[in-house]
C-alpha cells in the first residue's frame, strides 16, 4: 500500500491536474506492486471555534465527487477516531484567537495557581531532551501505551535544529518547600488569633488550609529525601514549518498532577510558537464526536476545530477489495 498523509499537495480544483496526478500515482504504485494508494488530503469539511455553528464546505464536497469520478473510493465522514490513520478532527489555535484574556476564567485560574505553586517554564532543544524523554516514559506508564523513545525525539531535534523546541515546566522542590513551610507558620499564627467570636467558617477554612499545607510539606520532603531537587513536571515537543507549528508530543509526571502543570505548559508552548512567528499552533487530534478527554483539555485554549474529509482509497490492483477487507478487519482488531 502507498500512503500519503495530508496529501497529495495539489490544486484539487484543477481537474486535469488531479487526473494526471492520480494516473501518475497509479503507475508508481503498480511498479512497486502496491494494491492501493491511500491518501488523506488537507481538505476541510468544516472549520469553526468551539461552540460555533459550522456549515459543510461545498467546495470540498465538490472535490470529493470529482475524486469519485476518477474511481477513487471515499471512506466517508467516519465517526470513530480509530477508523483513520490521521485524526479527522484536530484542534488548531489561530494566533488572532489566542491570548490569556481570551481563555476561560477557569483556565486562567489554573495557570495562575500553577505559577503560584512555584511552577516555572523554560524552552530549549537537546539540552532538555533527557527531562522530556523522562516525562514521555512516565506518560507511557500512566496510559499503558508504547510511545517513541529518546533516539526518535533526538532525531527530530537534530533534523530541524532551527525549527523545533521543547517546552518544559519544572518545580524547584527545596524552594517550594521553603515557601510552603512559611505559609504553614503563617497559618498557625492566624489560628492563635482566633477567639470565641471567630466565625466557624473561618476556623474551618484555616483547618483545611493547614491540612493541605501539611500534606504538601510531607510530599515535598519525601521527594527531597529520595534525592529529587529540580523536577520536570510536564513537557511538549514542537515542530515548525513556515507559519505553522505542531505540538507533536506531550508528557507529564503523574506524581505531580496536583500542581496542574499541563495547562500552563501547553499555554506557554502556543504562546512561544506565536512569538517565533507562527500563525497557527496545531494541538493535534480530538475525538470525532467532540466528546472525551482530548477535546475537554484542548478546548481550554480556544482552538479552531477543523474537520477533514478523511481518507480516500485509489485501487491499483484487482486484489484491492480483498486487501481492503483484510485491512479493515486488522485495524478493528488492533483498536480493541
Q: What is the pTM of this model?
A: 0.91
- Residue 239, helix vs strand vs coil: strand
Mean local confidence (pLDDT), 11-39: 97
pLDDT at 51: 82
pLDDT at 92 over 90: yes
What pLDDT score does 329 carry?
83
Length of the chain: 336
Q: What is the mean pLDDT of residues 51-56?
A: 88
Residue 16, pLDDT > 70, answer yes
Distance CA 304, CA 33 (A): 40
Q: Please report, in angstroms and rounded to a whole number, the separation of the first and last CA atoms in the chain.
A: 23
Higher pLDDT, 76 or 196: 76
Structure-model confidence comparison of residues 1 and 332, the more confident one: 1
Please state whether beta strands 164-172 and 230-241 pair in parallel, antiparallel, or not at all (unpaired). antiparallel
- Comparing CA positions, the residue from 284, 313, 302 lying closest to residue 89 is 284
Is the alpha carbon torsion for 6, 8, 10, 14 positive or negative? negative
Mean pLDDT of 256-272: 97
| 44-49 and 36-40 beta bridge pairing | unpaired
Q: At 146, is the pLDDT very low, low, confident or very high (cuts 50, 70, 90)?
A: confident
* pLDDT at residue 166, rounded to an integer: 99
- How much is the mean pLDDT over the chain? 95
Q: Cα–Cα distance between 21 and 7 in angstroms, integer?
A: 11
Whether 99 and 145 have beta carbons less than 8 Å apart is answered as: no
Of 112-126, 129-143, 212-226, 289-303, give the lowest mean pLDDT range: 129-143
Cell numbers representing residue 103 in the block: 481563555
Between CA 90 and CA 287 the distance in angstroms is: 8
pLDDT at 336: 63
For strand 2-5 and strand 36-40, is the pairing parallel, antiparallel, or unpaired? parallel
Whether residue 14 is predicted with pLDDT greater than 80 in this model: the reply is: yes
Helices (H), 144-261: 150-159, 173-192, 200-225
Domain boundaries, the chain: 2-77+309-335, 93-172+229-304, 175-223
CATH superfamily of 93-172+229-304: Gcn5-related N-acetyltransferase (GNAT) (3.40.630.30)
Residue 23 is predicted with a pLDDT of 97
Residue range 290-318: mean pLDDT, rounded: 96
Q: CB burial class (10 A; 0-12, 13-18, 19+) of residue 172?
A: middle
Q: Tell me which architecture the domain covering 2-77+309-335 has in CATH.
A: 3-Layer(aba) Sandwich (3.40)
Angle at 267 between CA 251 and CA 132, to 5 degrees: 25
Average pLDDT of the residues in 51-69:
94
Instruction: Check for a shared fold between 2-77+309-335 and 93-172+229-304.
Output: yes
d(CA 159, CA 152): 10
The vertex-50 CA angle with 47 and 53, nearest 5°, equals: 60
CA distances from 299 to 139, 173, 304 (A): 21, 31, 9
pLDDT tens profile 204-239 = 999 999 999 999 999 999 999 999 999 999 999 999
Residue 254 CA, distance from chain mean position? 17
Question: How large is the average pLDDT for residues 258-278?
Answer: 97
* pLDDT value of position 142: 80
Q: Using CA atoms, how far apart are residues 75 and 72, in angstroms rounded to an integer?
A: 10
pLDDT of residue 145: 74
Amino acid at each position: 500500500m502507498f500512503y500519503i498523509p495530508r496529501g497529495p499537495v495539489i490544486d484539487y480544483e484543477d481537474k486535469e491536474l488531479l487526473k494526471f496526478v492520480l494516473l501518475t500515482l497509479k503507475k508508481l504504485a503498480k511498479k512497486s506492486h502496491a494494491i492501493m494508494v491511500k491518501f488523506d488530503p488537507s481538505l476541510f469539511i468544516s472549520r469553526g471555534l468551539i461552540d460555533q455553528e459550522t456549515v459543510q464546505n461545498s467546495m470540498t464536497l465538490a472535490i470529493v465527487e470529482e475524486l469519485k469520478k476518477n474511481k477513487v473510493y471515499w471512506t466517508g465522514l467516519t465517526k470513530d477516531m480509530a477508523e483513520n490513520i490521521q485524526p479527522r478532527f484536530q484542534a488548531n489555535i489561530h494566533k488572532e484567537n489566542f491570548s490569556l484574556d481570551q481563555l476561560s476564567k477557569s483556565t486562567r485560574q489554573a495557570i495562575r495557581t500553577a505559577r503560584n505553586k512555584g511552577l516555572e517554564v523554560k524552552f530549549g532543544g537537546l539540552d532538555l531532551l533527557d527531562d522530556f524523554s523522562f516525562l514521555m516514559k512516565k506518560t507511557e506508564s500512566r496510559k499503558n501505551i508504547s510511545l517513541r523513545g529518546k533516539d526518535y525525539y533526538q532525531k527530530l531535534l537534530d533534523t530541524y535544529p532551527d525549527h523545533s523546541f521543547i517546552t518544559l515546566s519544572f518545580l524547584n522542590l527545596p524552594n517550594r518547600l521553603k515557601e510552603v513551610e512559611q505559609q504553614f507558620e503563617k497559618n498557625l499564627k492566624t489560628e492563635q488569633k482566633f477567639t470565641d467570636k471567630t466565625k466557624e467558617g473561618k476556623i474551618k477554612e484555616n483547618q483545611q488550609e493547614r491540612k493541605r499545607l501539611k500534606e504538601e510539606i510531607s510530599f515535598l520532603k519525601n521527594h527531597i529525601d529520595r534525592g529529587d531537587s529540580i523536577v520536570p513536571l510536564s513537557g511538549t515537543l514542537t515542530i515548525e514549518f513556515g507559519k505553522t507549528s505542531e505540538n507533536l508530543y506531550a508528557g507529564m509526571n503523574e506524581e505531580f498532577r496536583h500542581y496542574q502543570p499541563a495547562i500552563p505548559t501547553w499555554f506557554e508552548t502556543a504562546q512561544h510558537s506565536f512569538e517565533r512567528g507562527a500563525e497557527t499552533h496545531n494541538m493535534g487530534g480530538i475525538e470525532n464526536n467532540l466528546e472525551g478527554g482530548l477535546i475537554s483539555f484542548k478546548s481550554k485554549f480556544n482552538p479552531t476545530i477543523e474537520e477533514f474529509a478523511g481518507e480516500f482509497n485509489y485501487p491499483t490492483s484487482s486484489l484491492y477489495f480483498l486487501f481492503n477487507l483484510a485491512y479493515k478487519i486488522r485495524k478493528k482488531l488492533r483498536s480493541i
